[in-house]
Amino acid sequence: MHLTTLRSALRLPVLLLLFAADAINNPLTAQVAAAAQQVRRIAGCYDTHMGSWSGPLPATGWPAAHTPPAHFQLDSLPVNAGSQSWLAVRPVSLVDVKRLPAMWSLRGTDSIIVVWSTGFVGVTLHLAVHQDSLIGHATTFHDAQVIGEPPDPSAPVIATRRACPL
């Protein structure tokens, strides 16, 4: 086989290999870029509008630790909270016990979770992104579940975007 023909014959497999390598690496890069863009789109300040709780708040002595704040800010700064990727929330805590910082994370392409916790009790918001609002529900939690105790209460919640104070 002539050297030029051999080079031409090898060029196609090399190009296919390069294309395959690019296809393997770029989806991850594209996913990371899309997630970063989604975080930037969601991050900001919100007013909280709550419906009624489905039952009484747990008798932990900290009702404020189970109630989302009237206003909060989703930040794009990372929070160190184990192996999962979390971002900062303000207020950092709902009560004076600051064992864990408040945090939020993307869930898929159109949902987020926001958590305020003392390390023992708290509240979690599961929210879907709808334009400039976050719509979903709040659920309380506590670490001392008693057999026969009713489930932790939940309430509908809508968070509407507002301008962040300077």
Assess whether 90 and 28 both reside in one domain. no
Global pTM reads 0.79
Assess whether 68 and 116 both reside in one domain. yes
pLDDT at 151: 87
Assess whether 22 and 61 both reside in one domain. no
Assess whether 57 and 36 both reside in one domain. no
pLDDT at 2: 52
Cα 6 to Cα 55: distance, rounded to the nearest angstrom = 77
Assess whether 137 and 68 both reside in one domain. yes
Q: Mapped to the 3 state alphabet, what secondary structure does 41-62 carry?
A: HHCEEEEEEECCCCCCCCCCCC
- Number of Cβ within 10 Å of residue 58's Cβ equals 21
Assess whether 100 and 157 both reside in one domain. yes
Total domains, the chain: 2
- pLDDT digits over 105-126, tens only? 999 889 999 999 998 999 999 9
Assess whether 121 and 67 both reside in one domain. yes
- pLDDT band for 28, please (50, 70, 90 cuts): low
- pLDDT digits over 125-142, tens only? 999 999 999 999 999 998
Assess whether 86 and 120 both reside in one domain. yes
Domain coverage including residue 10: 1-42
Assess whether 31 and 49 both reside in one domain. no
Sign of CA dihedral 75, 139, 99, 113: negative
- pLDDT band for 6, please (50, 70, 90 cuts): very low
pLDDT at 96: 86
